[in-house]
Structure formats: C-alpha cells, structure tokens
Amino acid sequence: DTEVTQTPKHLVMGMTNKKSLKCEQHMGHRAMYWYKQKAKKPPELMFVYSYEKLSINESVPSRFSPECPNSSLLNLHLHALQPEDSALYLCASSQGTSGNLYNEQFFGPGTRLTVL
C-alpha cells in the first residue's frame, strides 16, 4: 500500500465552526506533514511530525492545531478560521526525516477547504 488517504475531500465551514481534517498512511513511514496549497501556487509546509512528535511548526496560526495520535494517523484541527484560510490542505508522509534517508514524500489527494 503506497497510498496516503485524506478525509474529507471537500469541507465547507463557517468562521465559528470546529472541524478536523484526517490523514492516514500504512507504509510504515515515521514522518508526516501538513501543507497548504492556494490556487496556482506551490505547497507551503505547515507542520512536520517525526516519530509522532511535532518537529517543525512553520509559524502557523494557533487556529490550526495538528495532532498525531499514532504513527499512521495525522489530524489537523480547525477552529475560528478566516476566509483567507480557504485552500487545498495536503498531507504527506516519508520514511523518515534523517538527512541520511531518501526523503521522498508521498502526497495525499488533499482536502479542499472553503471558509465562509
């Protein structure tokens, strides 16, 4: 299984809502990532988890809260978002984050989020 799955595929939420995005991989990868991609732009890294611990937070606002319950799952909890947070949210995983490993990242299909 070389797939990263993400749910839901689409999400529409109001600015006062609380929602969560989910990501799952069964490749035994120990690093997982959240990216944000706006239309016609490259993905921007938000968070990195390595061995279920948060290792990188790219100065993301606290209305985005990541969680890694186990090595296969990654969540992104959303609360009090703004319309400008509307984007495609991509999850990715890789074998590890050590500089000695081939750090190919496998991407999921993304969740298209619209904030009203």
Partner 1 sequence: AQSVSQHNHHVILSEAASLELGCNYSYGGTVNLFWYVQYPGQHLQLLLKYFSGDPLVKGIKGFEAEFIKSKFSFNLRKPSVQWSDTAEYFCAVNALRSASKIIFGSGTRLSIRP
Cα(first)–Cα(last) distance of the chain, in Å?
A: 36
- What residues line the site for partner 1 (CB under 8 A)? 31, 33, 40-43, 45, 48, 50, 55-56, 90, 96-110
| CB-nearer residue toward partner 1: 55 or 82 | 55
Cα–Cα distance measured from residue 56 to residue 76, given in angstroms and rounded to the nearest whole number: 14
| CB-nearer residue toward partner 1: 98 or 114 | 98
Instruction: Provide the minimum distance between the beta carbon of 98 and partner 1 in the complex, in angstroms, as a whole number.
Output: 6
Instruction: Provide the minimum distance between the beta carbon of 42 and partner 1 in the complex, in angstroms, as a whole number.
Output: 4
* Cβ atoms of 75 and 6 closer than 8 Å: no
Instruction: Provide the minimum distance between the beta carbon of 101 and partner 1 in the complex, in angstroms, as a whole number.
Output: 7
Strand partners, 76: 21, 66
Strand partners, 33: 48, 92
* Cβ atoms of 41 and 96 closer than 8 Å: no
| CB-nearer residue toward partner 1: 28 or 104 | 104
Instruction: Provide the minimum distance between the beta carbon of 49 and partner 1 in the complex, in angstroms, as a whole number.
Output: 9
